[in-house]
Amino acid sequence: TRHLLGIKDLNANDIQLIFETAQTFKDVLNRPIKKVPSLRDITIANIFFENSTRTRLSFELAEKRLSADTINFAASSSSVSKGETLIDTVNNILAMKVDMVVLRHPYPGAGVFLKNHIGAQIINAGDGAHEHPTQALLDAFSIIERLGEIKGKKIAIIGDILHSRVALSNILCLKKLGAEVMVCGPTTLIPKYIKSLGVKVEHNLLNALNWCDVANMLRIQLERQDISYFPSLREYSMLYGLNKQILDSLKKEIIIMHPGPINRGVEITSDVADSKHSIILDQVENGVAVRMAVLYLLAAQRG
């Protein structure tokens, strides 16, 4: 595939190749000289119509480690505020001879739409509540680093499944790699179609935690909900917030993940987020190597 729009377009072999390549780059990143010349003939535009800390910086660093030229576009400080459209914005950037676009956009399918209008390769860095493929790849890579493999492992994705692109991409990726996947949250935040993806559904946090090897704690996506949603943040943290007391009461040790940004004290308390069970910062570290692998492999597909 020329683009990376979603995990739905990858098979297990594609994902395995990305992980092998990412491991090579992770080894490079642990050397004194962290840079390789692989993409020195490539220019990449990071186009973000939604806020980001991890994804934007991680892509930019991955591009720089691969020696690509990079430009960064944030909609909030651009001429989008003067009414310029997505296609016009991207075409103006492409006129500056850009080969790849890393796109974050609030609307599901923005990358698919853009693919039909521009010649550059597109990497989806999050499209609304749809997909966030590189997040799922770095999450799965981080699980393998800890547990050796994904196949047969039990992964619980806990929280706001309905509004989460991380949930959908993780479910697709983990299922392709042979994991058992459970989603857990209030009925109002779990979409009806989710069972068709072959996942278990659980509404009780303790049951989910006692079932799983890995718990991926998701953030309530306040920016994608109106203010009258149920449960409220306070109710949510009482029913679904993970704290040290709950973690210590479990029958076995589990691994705690979170894609960030964390709402400390809502879905997870600081004593859990910062504990030895947490691999949250490993996920961020691995994000650079995984994104290097995606960029490198896509660059090889240029026509």
Chain positions contacting ligand CP, by CB under 6 A: 52-55, 126, 135, 259-261
- Is 55 part of any known ligand binding site? yes
- Cβ-based nearer residue to ligand CP, 38 or 111: 111
291 is an annotated ligand-binding site residue:
no
Cβ 303 to ligand CP shortest distance, Å: 29
Q: Is 70 annotated as a binding residue?
A: no
Q: What angle do CA 12, 16, 20 make, to 5 degrees?
A: 175
Annotated binding residue 82: yes
- C-alpha 65/C-alpha 291 separation (Å) is 10
Please say which residue, 21 or 135, places its beta carbon nearer to ligand CP.
135
Residue nearest ligand CP (C-beta atom): 55
Judge whether 56 is annotated as a binding position: no
Minimum Å distance from CB 50 to ligand CP?
A: 8
Handedness of CA 159, 194, 197, 182 (dihedral sign): positive
- Closest contact distance (angstroms) between CB of 52 and ligand CP is 3
What SS3 state is found at 124? Answer: strand
Is 15 or 136 the residue whose CB approaches ligand CP more closely? 136
Buried b or exposed e, range 57-88, using 16+ CB within 10 angstroms: ebbbbbbbbbebbbeebbbeeeebeeeeebee
Residue 18 in contact with residue 294, Cβ under 8 Å? Answer: yes
Angle at 139 between CA 108 and CA 112, to 5 degrees: 20
Q: Name which of 56 and 65 has its Cβ closer to ligand CP.
A: 56
Whose CA is closest to 288, among 61, 71, 69? Answer: 61
- Whole-number minimum distance, CB 53 to ligand CP, in Å? 4
User: Which residues sit in the known binding site for L-aspartate?
Assistant: 82, 165, 219
